[in-house]
Amino acid sequence: MAGTRFQLLSTFSRQFSTLNNVSTVQPKLRIDEIRGRRMAIFDKEYKRQQALIPRLEKIEVTYEELNDEKVTLIMNKGISTPYNCAQHINEQLLKRSVVAEVNGEVWDMHRAITTDCTLKLLHMKPEDLHQATLVNKAFWRSCSFLLGAVVESTFQDEISVCLHSFPPANVRSGSFVYDVQLNLKDWVPSQNDLRQIAAAFQKFVRQDHIFQRLDVDSSVALKMFEDNAFKTEQIPHIATKSSTGRSITVYRVGDHIDISRGPMIASSSLVGRCSIPAIHKLNSKLYRFQGVALPSEIHINHFAFGILESRARKLAKSCKDT
């Protein structure tokens, strides 16, 4: 997405180009430069961690099907993922799987398995209520992440965009959200603005980006997000809640990297119809972007989706943690 900007936002550039309307900010790096630096740090750390695996060891993964049948797979410890396991079973399962359960713990499809385990693969229409809740939260959380990716690269370079955070997934809220600081005064988004942001969101998710997870030391995370004052303030607090007291989980989707506990869905292509019904101004610079989306395998008519959009326009309640 780096380097891509909406045509309509060039209008924003003209409208907010005076000193009276654009807050004075420090000269900032271009978004593609920021993302390039983050990806370089991410790739270096990923390679470092992979090099720590001394030799290939085999683990036994017992896949439990919905009909209680079991399939035993011999996989590579610290390398093989639930996605790799699905590849050994059948293509339909591979396409439908959203998240996994590894020994009862919700697990990213592209996260390496490190021990012998039982494995379940969950799709978007589970009959079990608990599994349905887990899947829905992963879907909503992933949509928030993707919304941040789109918004960060939306505005012209002279408009400072700083991602703040997104709240824990709450499907009942009616919308997934991301709070973003913009150095725009008195911006009232038009319906055309909302439609074009939704179009960019739709275009991005159709590119079939996987969610790549990486657990890093807080010092690495601080270096990765040194350009973002909000993230650098949040990282030490989030790290203290980890099992080691120093770990931060980051995800990469395309050229975008952000912080989240996860888990996330397997791929952006699992997101189908979407809309950006509202952008609420929280204070002089902070805006709450709100979206609503359906999984790609679920289809409803225009009227029913309109009801979802109306619900998603209401200001979502604030929540601090991501």
- Note whether 260 and 196 are same-domain residues: yes
CA distance 251 to 191: 31
Four-CA torsion 40, 45, 46, 48, nearest 10 degrees: 130
Q: Domain range spanning residue 281? A: 8-15+26-46+133-312
CA distance 286 to 163: 9
Residue 319 in any domain: the answer is no
In 3D space, the residue among 213, 214, 176, 165 whose CA is nearest the CA of residue 322 turns out to be 165
Residue 156 in any domain: the answer is yes
CA distance 191 to 5: 18
Residue 30 in any domain: the answer is yes
- Note whether 246 and 168 are same-domain residues: yes
Strand partners, 165: 179
| 151: alpha, beta or left? (left if phi > 0; alpha if psi -120 to 50) | alpha
Number of separate domains in the chain:
2
| pLDDT tens sequence for the chain (322 residues) | 444 454 444 334 333 332 233 333 343 468 889 999 999 999 999 999 999 988 889 999 999 987 778 999 999 999 999 999 999 999 999 999 999 999 999 999 999 999 999 999 999 988 888 899 999 999 999 999 999 999 999 887 778 899 999 988 788 888 999 999 998 878 899 999 999 999 999 999 999 999 999 999 999 999 999 999 999 999 999 999 999 999 999 999 999 999 999 999 999 999 999 999 999 999 888 999 999 999 998 999 999 999 999 999 999 875 444 4
CA distance 242 to 210: 24
- Note whether 104 and 152 are same-domain residues: no
